[in-house]
Amino acid sequence: MMAMGVPADTHAGSGGWPDPAGLRALVAQALRDGHLAEGLGGFALQDWMTLARREGVLALLEWRLRTNGGWDALPGEFRDAAATGVRQAAAQWLVRKRELQRLDGALAEHGLRCLLLKGNALAFWLYPQPYLRDSGDIDLLLA
């Protein structure tokens, strides 16, 4: 039996979306190796996209696949969906960057210094581009 193109051997993930057995491992492998599994590993394109979005790695997955070569050989629908995800991630990052600048300026006016923590700090430190690290908040340490 199939639901949303997902093989029946699934268990419920957070939010009720089926968490396909093996798909998470295939996405992780694609992030490591820079290649999609042959035939998408038997999973529907929509399932790959849904999982990558939910895990916050769609932009990173697109970057990894694009920089490793073979991007043009990927299904056009996948390339289009991934590129849209990257544009959304980049736009969100620009908003977050502006907010960080605004906060830093406001705190500095009052003689406070801040240290960027967790996800946003990692975005600058470990990722090729900060927008590749998904984050939903801004964590600061004030001094």
pLDDT tens digits for 34-85?
Answer: 988 888 888 888 898 899 999 999 999 999 999 988 788 888 988 999 999 9
CA separation, residue 56 to residues 4, 13, 48 (Å): 20, 15, 12
pTM for the full predicted model: 0.78
Q: Is the pLDDT of residue 8 over 60?
A: no
**Backbone phi, psi, residue 60, to 5°:** -65, -40
Q: Is the pLDDT of residue 14 over 60?
A: no
pLDDT recorded at residue 1: 33
Distance CA 30, CA 61 (A): 7
More confident residue, 37 or 102: 102
